[in-house]
Amino acid sequence: MIKNEIEKRITEKSAVIGVVGLGYVGLPLIAEFGLKGFTGIGFEVDAEKVESVNAGRSYIVDVTNENIKKCVDDGRLTATTDFSQLSKCDAIIICVPTPLRKTKDPDMSFILSAGGQIQKYQRHGQLIILESTTYPGTTDEILLPMFEEKGCKLDEDFLLAFSPERVDPGNPQFQTHNIPKVVGGVSKDSTEAAALLYSQIVGEVHPVSSARVAEACKLWENTFRAINIGMANEMARLCNALGIDTWEVVRAAATKPFGFMPFYPGPGIGGHCIPLDPHYLSWKARQHGFDSQFISLAEQVNSNMPGYVVKLVQHALNDEKKAVNGSKVLVLGVAYKKDIDDMRESPALSVIDLLRAKGAEVIYHDPFVPEVTFDHAYTIGDGEPLYNQDLTDDLMKNSDCVVICTEHSDIDYNRVCEQSKLIVDTRNALSPDIRNGSHAKIVRL
């Protein structure tokens, strides 16, 4: 049986692991296999990433240079743009992006491209796993027919499964090795072999009955977050209208030891998962005549938050007898979350775009992001690139308004309050002690 062949190689650690896509998901994954004694081949279309990995350098915040160098020096990791080497792999894990089209429908082009390369070099005895977030049915409806097209048979020639990635960039507590892995195969043998593979690098594996269940699990996780963040954002706007401190309300509610989980408002939602994944679920729901109203409402609330932040800036400047048009606005933090360099779908980009559309001169400081371009974001325009500015006293003093969009840890917020005239804090970055000792006017979400 092919399952026995694959499991034997996994148990002996003679299985060669191929990972297609060396981004925030793929690089930590293949590094973990290398550290656990497996030989891995990373496949990338970006030649610069390939060169970096082969030189022992990491470009992902959660993966150290030391770990990459160790894997490379030990002969456990190589990266390549040559997809013909897929034929050498016993297990192939697909970790490519799954963006949305402008119509907010799933863009399956990266999965199709990866699947096409695997099909081209497919051989007997391979376990293929999709990790890219997608709608329920993708593994069965797209990949299975593709891999059987040339006469290969599931459970006889290859195994196929889905295991959702659960990466949280910049989270020092939860990383690849200690995040439970959900695994669902297209067949029982596929589930068992994929579960065995992941058990070599993670502490807990949770098998489910099918790939569809595993695909739906991932979307449920992130849709849950999107909806609850949407509620937090709506509550923030309500509290603002009522003159109540939003953050005090959340802290008070969080003292309840059951039935409540705190979610926090912000300038919008970002990253590759939460802004996109609910659309995959609602798109699939529409195919079955189901209207997912909660998802649509949360998306509407969250997508309106950058505009609400700009209104806060506008009103705050107006109170100082200034217009947005012609004002100098300093944005602190443009990554989508604290202490990382990832700008995917960052709400800060929309805030900047909206401010520039109103005539503001926008500058930014982010210690993780040297340059901001606007050709990859869902923004209203295609403004000129911006470049990171040093956070000098003069920069803050000469700014009419400072907008905290991302609360990076190494920014001295005491100093920000000392040197700034007006601050709009969308992340509750300014503690009560800082606020109480500040001469700046502070507006909070």
pLDDT at 312 over 50: yes
Q: Residue 404: helix, strand or coil by DSSP?
A: strand
Q: What is the pLDDT of residue 375?
A: 59
Q: What angle do CA 207, 114, 2 make, to 5 degrees?
A: 50
Contact 21, 41 (CB under 8 A): no
**d(C-alpha 326, C-alpha 264), whole Å:** 32
Q: What is the pLDDT of residue 279?
A: 83
59-88: b or e for each residue (b if 16 or more CB lie within 10 Å)? bbbbbeeebbbbbbeeebbbbbeebeebee
**d(C-alpha 145, C-alpha 125), whole Å:** 17
Q: What is the pLDDT of residue 377?
A: 44
Q: For residue 438, name the pLDDT band (cuts at 50, 70, 90).
A: confident
Catalytic residue among 273, 401, 405, 417: 273
pLDDT at 396 over 90: yes
For the chain, the average pLDDT equals 93
Nearest by Cα to 248 from 115, 445, 388, 419? 445
Q: What is the pTM of this model?
A: 0.91
Structure tokens at 218: 């991932």
**Between 377 and 196, residue with greater pLDDT:** 196
**d(C-alpha 348, C-alpha 105), whole Å:** 23
pLDDT (tens digit per residue) in 231-245:
999 999 999 999 999
Q: What is the pLDDT of residue 382?
A: 55
pLDDT at 6 over 50: yes
DSSP structure class, residue 222? H
Beta-carbon neighbour count of residue 312 at 10 Å? Answer: 19
pLDDT average, residue stretch 49-68: 95
Which CATH class name applies to 304-444?
alpha beta
Residues contacting residue 118 through CB under 8 Å, at least 6 positions apart: 20, 86, 92, 94, 128, 147
Is the domain 2-218 a CATH 3.40.50.720 member? yes
Judge if 2-218 and 304-444 fold alike in CATH terms.
yes
Minimum mean pLDDT among 23-27, 256-260, 437-441: which range?
Answer: 437-441
Establish whether 405 is a catalytic residue. no
pLDDT average, residue stretch 50-67: 95
| Ranges of each domain in the chain | 2-218, 304-444
